[in-house]
Structure 1
Amino acid sequence: MSDSEEDHQLGEEWEDHDSKLSDGELQEAFAKGLLKPGMNVPLEEPKKAVNNVEGLKKCLAEFKRNLVWVERLDLTTLPALDILAKAEGRVEPGPGGDQINADDDFQREMFFYRQAQASVLEALPRLQKLQILTKRPDDYFAEMTKSDQHMQKVRKKLIQKQMAMEKSEKAKKLREQRKFSKKVQVQVLQKRQKEKKSMMTAVKKYQKGMSDKLDFLEGDAEGKKATGAPSKPHVNKKGPSAKRKYKDSKFGFGGKKKGAKWNTKESHSDVSGFRGKVAHGKVGKKFSKAGQKNKRPGKEARRKMKSRK
């Protein structure tokens, strides 16, 4: 027997017992060259589907029971009529129309939905005829799968989540309000600066004689009324005030100043405005006896009063 035949025979032996070998034995065999690529590739044979019709019928006959329909509640119905497709004039997919596309999820689920709908429409009258209630009563009590403690934890978690969402929404609204109020404040400040600038320009023009209008003062009063600020009392601008007239009569009002206060013959002879008390400096002095009573006696008089006692 040649060396190649011996290696082949040994390889077959290792292949037959490879499942029983340990890791150390496999490493030793690999070192000797007994394990080669392609020797340990498992070959999977295609599975054969067994359709044993007789066996299936036999199994069905074993567990089949002759029960009334109320105990079975089984129905085999066609899907309900698709009213929308009929109204639009489309061909209804299903047994009576086009074939249903199994890859179309929407079409497939709608077919299941209409089939369940047809089953409900057929089952409800039969249940009502048998006097079987189909609605859950208001005082229905069912045993919960979850414990009350677990449901309390779930409820607490849901409440915390809801509170966190409300807090987040509230913070979001506050941020929006702050942004809006800041924007309004900036607009108000810009408007005030603009009004102030225009008012200063109008004042400068009025001072330089470039304009004879005082509209900026009226605008200021209107602005105070709009903002609700207290405004100064209305002053009649048609003529000078009483104070201004008195000062004009006393000090003059422009024009020549030098020699304007010189006496004339008429003013010298006019003594209608003469007042003796003012001329002799007696204004404000008290000559009544009540003032003399409260006067403190002198030092000598006080000493004599003490000696008398």
Structure 2
Amino acid sequence: MADVEMETQMGLDSEEDYGELSDAELQEAFSKGLLKPGLNVPLEEPKKAVNNIEGLKMCLAEFKKNLPWVERLDLTNHPAVDVLAKIEGTLNKKQSSGEIDAEDDFQREMYFYRQAQATVLEALPKLKKLQIPTKRPDDYFAEMAKTDQHMQKVRKKLMQKQMAIEKSEKAKKLREQRKFGKKVQVEVLQKRQKAKKAMMTAVKKYQKGMTDKLDFLEGDQEGKKGSTASKSQMSKKGPNAKRKYKDQKFGFGGKKKGSKWNTKESFNDVSGFRAKTAHGKGGKKFNKGGKKNKRPGKETRRKMKARK
């Protein structure tokens, strides 16, 4: 009810009539509290950028200290030239001029790396000239950020990772070898089955009288010829050293059992007959005393033992 009364007092029938009011009327309505929130937007004046060069120089002079370079160790330089890319001929004009793509992580990190290289190349001669050591002495011991136990764990983990990689590589090679061996084996079996099938087909045709050719047997004959040829080659070469030694020690082979049996020719051959030897006249040797070294009989030996 109060809003309607306010509108009637100001002579406004709708919200569109607010746009027809002058600035003075709006200010008067704002002062009386008749305007609702959200109808006006405050405008902020744009900030003016003040480039006070003299003031900046004065501030810089206040906190700047003229310290020697050894105390500051500051260097500002361009990145070193990528020697590898220069040798390979892949150095671009953008890279040589120092322009890089900030979105390319690898290119950006390489830029920082080469800039660090240039800094080291420039700083080391200065430090040597000022006789400042740049290497840690041999007897220098400092507390490290990581303990020895922690580093041993890290080293153990790295070794385990390396061993796992080596095992996986070996397993991969073994799998490849097995695949290759299996493939060769399958090919050989398929070849044999194919030859067998062809042979059986040819045999069936021959049995049914469909053909009178025996060409399918040529393979076996060729194999036999090859074996005979290999044997003849071996015979041409002669026996090896092991065979020669055994022949020299045990003879040249042949029949051993029954080699002393009589034959018809040996029975009829009497050229080697000696009568004295056969009748015991000249073949035996006697003692000097003329007595034979005859052993007593069994009964005599028993009686001699009983006497004792």
- Asked if these proteins are the same fold (TM beyond 0.5), I'd say no
TM range (shorter): 0.3 to 0.5
Q: TM-score, normalised by structure 2?
A: 0.42
